[in-house]
Amino acid sequence: MSNKTTAIGHSNIAFIKYWGNRDAKLRIPLNDSISMNLDALTTTTTVAFDDALDQDIVQLDDQPADEKTAARVREHLTRVRALAHIETRARVASRNNFPAAAGLASSASAFAALSVAAARAAGLDLSERELSILARQGSGSAARSIPGGFVEWLAAKDVNYTSEQSYARTLMPPDAWALTDVIALVSPDAKKVGSTEGHAAAPSSPFLAERLARLPMRYHHVRRQTLAKNLTRLGPDLEAEAIELHMLAMTSQPPIFYWAPGTVRVLDAVRAWRAEGLEAYYTLDAGPNVHILVAQQDAAELARRVRALEGVQDVLTSGPGGAARVSEDHLF
Ligand code: DP6
């Protein structure tokens, strides 16, 4: 199959969170966000459009995808078909290099890889910005996994916003700062409430408006301290942002609780170790696992301590990752 294309996308961890959409269908967020791509956490996806197919075929980790996931992938393929003015159905195979059951199942790396592979397989030659806009519509945080390194994703600001206004761009390349993410896996369960439902529920929290009013100041500070590579000044805002995300979720209607008992144990431990001089700061996505940001030279010691905590099932370590890219290692 001549159009067969494979791409690799990295997961990312947000410093400033995406929580709530201005336009849920287009996934245009309520606020700008900042993240770091994760070198060690990838999705590899192969796409081939084939005239012989009468429907899209979607495989994840060598199994047929569940219906909900398959439908979301088909919708994304249809966006690509519309851009390429084709009707052809595709075969898609995708694999994560981290355990799917770890609760890290990453729609960011998945939709970044799918966007790069499907666009090229369909004969499109999209710019990084166009790929980010495309990936965003599959999963918001995937917009940030298209460019490399430390990334910011801009919300559309105009009253008459358009989809083209919301895309991600590199703030700083991955090799600019050897910041390390030590990920404590505290629950093997797939998360109960997906981010998409979380975004939809966000406006029901009485605190969302207050957050959005205050966020530009925190954003500015996080952006500046990221560029300054100053973990000491960045860290407290990373933690405040994570707590705020979960506070919003817990105060939504209906409330969403992502934390597990192990989550609280890890947060307590990080605070205690920091008081003793091991400088590390936590953040969390919409799930129970804890991401701990630390200087590269402290990562091994931190990982050793995290592994010994009760309730921690596994620990992954990652430095900053590059952009989503084409690969020659096809999955079929
Ligand atoms: C808490 O990008 O997973 O991780 O657009 O519905 O796929 P969808 O949501 P998603 O939301 C990510 C939410 C978050 C914060 C973040 O990564 O910014």
pLDDT at 103: 59
CA 230 – CA 153 distance, rounded (Å)? 21
Please tell me if the CB atom of residue 298 comes closer than 6 angstroms to any atom of ligand 1.
no
Please tell me if the CB atom of residue 136 comes closer than 6 angstroms to any atom of ligand 1.
no
Indicate the burial class of 2 (C-beta count within 10 angstroms; 0-12, 13-18, 19 or more): exposed
Are 250 and 287 spatial neighbours (Cβ–Cβ below 8 Å)?
no
Which of 16, 17, 18, 22 for mutating ligand 1's site (highest number of atoms within 8 Å of CB)? 18
How does pLDDT run across 214-271, given as a tens digit for each residue?
999 999 999 999 999 999 999 999 999 999 999 999 999 999 999 999 999 999 999 9
Q: Looking at the whole model, is its pTM more than 0.85? A: yes
Ligand 1 geometric centre to CA of 19 (Å):
7
Q: Is the pLDDT of residue 79 over 90?
A: yes
Please tell me if the CB atom of residue 14 comes closer than 6 angstroms to any atom of ligand 1.
yes
How does pLDDT run across 281-327, given as a tens digit for each residue?
999 999 999 999 999 999 999 999 999 999 999 999 999 999 999 99
Q: Which residues share a beta bridge with 315?
A: 184
pLDDT at 193: 84
Please tell me if the CB atom of residue 199 comes closer than 6 angstroms to any atom of ligand 1.
yes
pLDDT at 2: 72
Ligand 1 geometric centre to CA of 215 (Å):
17
Are 37 and 174 spatial neighbours (Cβ–Cβ below 8 Å)?
yes
Ligand 1 geometric centre to CA of 29 (Å):
10
What are phi and psi for residue 92, nearest 5 degrees?
-125, 130
Q: Is the pLDDT of residue 61 over 60?
A: yes
What are phi and psi for residue 62, nearest 5 degrees?
70, 5
3-state secondary structure the chain: CCCCEEEEEEEEEEEECCCCEEECCCCEECCCEEEEEEEEEEEEEEEEECCCCCCCEEEECCEECCHHHHHHHHHHHHHHHHHHCCCCCEEEEEEECCCHHHCCCCHHHHHHHHHHHHHHHCCCCCCHHHHHHHHHHHCHHHHHHCCCCEEEECCCCCCCCCHHHCCEEEEECHHHCCEEEEEEECCCCCCCCCHHHHHHHHHHCCCHHHHHHHHHHHHHHHHHHHHCCCHHHHHHHHHHHHHHHHHHHHCCCCCCCCCCHHHHHHHHHHHHHHHCCCCEEEECCCCCCEEEEEEHHHHHHHHHHHHCCCCCCEEEEECECCCCEEECCCCC
How does pLDDT run across 168-219, given as a tens digit for each residue?
999 999 999 999 999 999 986 666 788 999 999 999 999 999 999 999 999 9
pLDDT at 245: 97
pLDDT at 100: 61
Ligand 1 geometric centre to CA of 18 (Å):
6
Are 61 and 69 spatial neighbours (Cβ–Cβ below 8 Å)?
no
The pLDDT confidence band at residue 98, using thresholds 50, 70 and 90, is: confident
Ligand 1 geometric centre to CA of 238 (Å):
16
Please tell me if the CB atom of residue 120 comes closer than 6 angstroms to any atom of ligand 1.
no
Please tell me if the CB atom of residue 286 comes closer than 6 angstroms to any atom of ligand 1.
yes
Q: Determine which residue's CA is closest to atom 4 belonging to ligand 1.
A: 285
Q: Determine which residue's CA is closest to atom 6 belonging to ligand 1.
A: 196
Closest ligand 1 atom number to CA of residue 142: 2
